[in-house]
Amino acid sequence: MDDKLVARLDEVEATFEQTLVELTDQSILSDQNRYREVSTRHAELKPVVETYRRYREAATEVEEAEELVTAESDAEMKVYLEETIASGRSDLDDLEAELRKLLVPKDPDDDKDVIVEIRAAAGGDEAALWAGDLYRMYERFAERSGWSTEPIDVSVTGGGGVKEATFSVKGKGAFARLKYEAGPHRVQRVPATESQGRVHTSMATVAVLPEAEEVEVDINDNDLIIETMRSQGPGGQSVNTTDSAVRITHKPTGIVVSCQDEKSQLQNKLKAMRVLRARLYQIQLEEQLGDRAEARRSQVGSGERSEKIRTYNYKENRVTDHRVGLTVHNLTDVLDGDLEQLHDALVEDDIAQKLADGG
């Protein structure tokens, strides 16, 4: 392990020890916000420090074995010590790789709840049906992960598809996983309405936004145009007879958000404000990212068939994630919310890229 990495790990260990002291400080114990901050920092550093200490123990064992093997005259014992050294060095390599991963800066939004927006794109009615399938896939994924989902605004079509769906997912680590779903999703299958058995290609786009707290985004009421209307269902029939649906326009950015899922106008307004806050927070992040902003903005793309992050092929029971070149043949399980294998590969690739960029 190089000196630079050792120095960094020593610094992390010193900070970890400091959090232990602070967690017994009465002034911090009496300040809930400060205590939460220190506790979170302690929890983040703990796996790094524990792994670093295992590394030092393993390094000590290797050093001791190396000292003994040079003076050892017994052939059998010499073989044993050489095997111990080889095994120990292998463990050190694994522990160092793990430490480098643990030191990769964590996305500060990873533990946030998220707002997901799905939109039918190229493919007409079949694209709307596909958007509905993706909506159900994420509901099942959230259920498998122990998270909860809440519809915010779902616009269904007469054929049983979904033109647009906006919903929230609440649970620890929701953004850390769902952020990998942002982008165009392509499906290749024979639609139920296809009499000739021809395979059609359709698209739906997915946007994943970390849900922002009110204190993270400053919204001036004078910048908002708030309109109310009657909720509408498929075919334009009235869902209810009161003006409960809400549409909010943010004048400085031109962002328009609507919500009609709740019967209460107030509840619809609160949900719409959550979506608006998340979108404005995303803009703030993009501004802070500078040169990386364009890449982040282009995640969803235009929804054309040539753009895709993932392809779902029904005939071959295949799902291919084009970002990491991974293909799995368990389409049914994936659509039932089993995204673990795909996400694990994406996480590993993300870490590898960050390490290549210098962590």
At 141-199, the pLDDT tens digits run 999 999 999 888 888 887 778 898 999 999 988 999 999 999 999 999 988 767 677 88
Residue with the larger pLDDT of the pair 250 and 198: 250
At 319-359, the pLDDT tens digits run 999 999 999 999 999 999 999 999 999 998 888 888 776 65
Does residue 140 sit in the same domain as residue 83?
no
Does residue 321 sit in the same domain as residue 345?
yes
Does residue 71 sit in the same domain as residue 130?
no
Position 166 in a domain = yes
Residue 301 scores a pLDDT above 70: no
How far is the CA of 7 from the CAs of 52, 55, 63, 100, in angstroms?
Answer: 12, 14, 20, 13
Q: Check residue 142 and give its pLDDT.
A: 96
Does residue 90 sit in the same domain as residue 129?
no
Q: What's this model's pTM, rounded to 2 decimal places?
A: 0.71
Position 149 in a domain = yes
Position 109 in a domain = no
What are 16's two structure tokens? 């970890």
- Of 102, 124, 151, the domain-final residue: 102
How far is the CA of 131 from the CAs of 137, 192, 252, 260, in angstroms?
Answer: 10, 15, 30, 19
Position 359 in a domain = no
Supply the range of the domain harboring residue 38. 3-102
Does residue 85 sit in the same domain as residue 122?
no
Does residue 214 sit in the same domain as residue 271?
yes
Does residue 176 sit in the same domain as residue 72?
no
Supply the mean pLDDT for the chain.
Answer: 86
Residue 75 scores a pLDDT above 80: yes
Judge whether 176 and 293 are in contact, CB under 8 Å. no
Mean pLDDT of 45-72: 93
Does residue 140 sit in the same domain as residue 28?
no
The percent of residues above 90 in pLDDT, for the chain, comes to: 49
Task: Return the CATH number at 192.
Answer: 3.30.70.1660
Mean pLDDT of 45-54: 95
Does residue 137 sit in the same domain as residue 262?
yes
Q: Check residue 94 and give its pLDDT.
A: 92
- Of 102, 135, 152, the domain-final residue: 102
Confidence of residue 258 (pLDDT cuts 50, 70, 90): confident
Mean pLDDT of 250-256: 91
DSSP for 39-68, written as a single string: HHHHHHHHHHHHHHHHHHHHHHHHHHHHHH
Does residue 7 sit in the same domain as residue 69?
yes
- If one counts the domains in the chain, the total is 2
Residue 233 scores a pLDDT above 60: no
Q: Which helix or strand (DSSP H or E) is residue 293 part of?
A: helix 293-297
Position 152 in a domain = yes
Position 300 in a domain = yes
Does residue 97 sit in the same domain as residue 144?
no
Position 107 in a domain = no
Does residue 149 sit in the same domain as residue 267?
yes
Residue 3 scores a pLDDT above 90: no
Q: Check residue 303 and give its pLDDT.
A: 43
Position 155 in a domain = yes
- Of 102, 129, 156, the domain-final residue: 102
The beta strand positions in the chain, using DSSP E, are 114-120, 148-156, 162-170, 183-189, 200-210, 224-229, 245-250, 255-259, 310-313, 318-321, 326-328
Burial bucket for residue 32 (CB in 10 Å: 0-12, 13-18, 19+): exposed
Confidence of residue 229 (pLDDT cuts 50, 70, 90): confident
CA–CA dist 113, 277 (Å, integer)? 13
Mean pLDDT of 194-217: 83
Mean pLDDT of 44-64: 94
Q: Which residues pair with 116 in a beta bridge?
A: 167, 208
Lowest mean pLDDT across 89-93, 260-264, 274-278: 260-264
Residue 242 scores a pLDDT above 60: no
